[in-house]
Amino acid sequence: MTPENQTHVEFFLLGLSEDPDLQPVLYGLLLSMYLVTVLGNLLIILAVTSDSHLHTPMYFFLSNLSLVDICCTSTIVPKMLLNIQTANKAITYTGCLAQAYFFMVFLCMDNLLLTVMAYDRYVAICHPLHYTVIMNPCLCVLLVLICLLISIVDALLHTLMLLRLSFCKHLEIPHFFCELTQILKLACSDALINNIIEYLATIFLGIAPLSGIIFSYTRIVSSILRIPSTGGKYKAFSTCGSHLSVVSLFYGTCIGVYLSSAVTNFPQMTAVASVMYTVVTPMLNPFIYSLRNKDMKGALRKLTLGTFLLL
């Protein structure tokens, strides 16, 4: 196959399954999960902004995480639903690169926000007397902006490097969205530099933040164990239990996808596993934070009651 003019290149997203009988089931399931994800995370954002008791660094970061989860899922699922409904799996070269860019921005942002939230919990438990001084509003906003800047630069670098590659016509991606690794595999030209940059980004923006989270929680656990009373230990751990659950779910599914792609020769199995961190995890995050947090439960109850009275 010879390289073609990139404006005429067209990708085909094979999706989760090519079985026609499964398409209605997949459509209904994905649509339901998407609506729950958007509604659940939107409720978290509204609850945090409407309740003055939740105007703290922890909930500020949580509301940003919920916004990122909505954006990340919205980058992928609507196009997937459209493909199923129209039975058309095609996506243009420009559309594919745009989807890959925004997905990388929001995925990286998700990862970095979880790291910042781990630091917030570390300061709250290990340095409680200095918490309000260290985690002041200016620093919180600055941390979110830094996360956003790093995510944009990282995604922009990958996307610009994709522009130097040549692709052939009628390229099939064995995935339900334009994932960077899958795009690189279809390049007709040498993608060695792209692969090196991808590996370096994985180390600095994947392994390094995870190491920071592990270090933070090592110090947190050490501090909790030094608390004399059982009630004090429980109260301290409850403040970071929800975040630890979300971190475990996010990194657990990401590592699972990576391992599945390494040990299996069936790309669509990897695509099915990818649903966990692209769709399922953003859907479960609001439930984890609302079910395990009394303050969040109270804010959601007030928000629901207020909305009901207005209606």
67, part of any domain: yes
- Per-residue pLDDT, averaged over 17-40, amounts to 91
**Is residue 242 domain-resident?**
yes
What sections of the chain are H helices per DSSP?
Answer: 23-50, 57-86, 93-126, 131-134, 137-163, 180-185, 192-202, 208-225, 230-263, 267-275, 281-291, 294-310
Contact 41, 285 (CB under 8 A): yes
> How much of the chain, in percent, has pLDDT values that exceed 70?
91
pLDDT value for 225: 84
Q: Is the pLDDT of residue 189 over 80?
A: yes
**Tens of pLDDT, residues 220-260:** 988 888 878 777 777 777 777 788 888 888 888 887 777 66
**Domain annotation covers residue 119:** yes
47 within domain boundaries: yes
Residues 6+ apart with CB under 8 A from 88: 82
Give me the number of domains the chain comprises.
1
CA atoms within 13 A on the CB side of 23: 16
**Cβ of 190: how many Cβ atoms within 10 Å?**
11
pLDDT at 1: 42
pTM over 0.95: no
Report yes or no: 168 and 9 within 8 Å, Cβ to Cβ. Answer: yes
Task: Give domain status of residue 1, yes or no.
Answer: no
Asked, for residue 149, whether it belongs to a domain, the answer is: yes
pLDDT tens digits, one per residue of 47-79 = 889 888 888 999 999 999 999 999 999 999 999
pLDDT, mean of residues 191-209: 90
Residue that wins the pLDDT comparison between 269 and 26: 26
Q: Is the pLDDT of residue 5 over 60?
A: no
CATH number of 285's domain: 1.20.1070.10
Name the token pair of 266. 């069936």
Looking at this protein, which amino acid is placed at residue 140? C
Domain assignment present for 152: yes
Examine residue 161 and state whether it is found in any structural domain, yes or no: yes
Confidence of residue 2 (pLDDT cuts 50, 70, 90): very low
Domain hosting 57: range is 6-310
How confident is the model over 79-96, as a mean pLDDT? 91
Classified as helix, coil or strand, 9 is coil
The residue type of 29 is: L
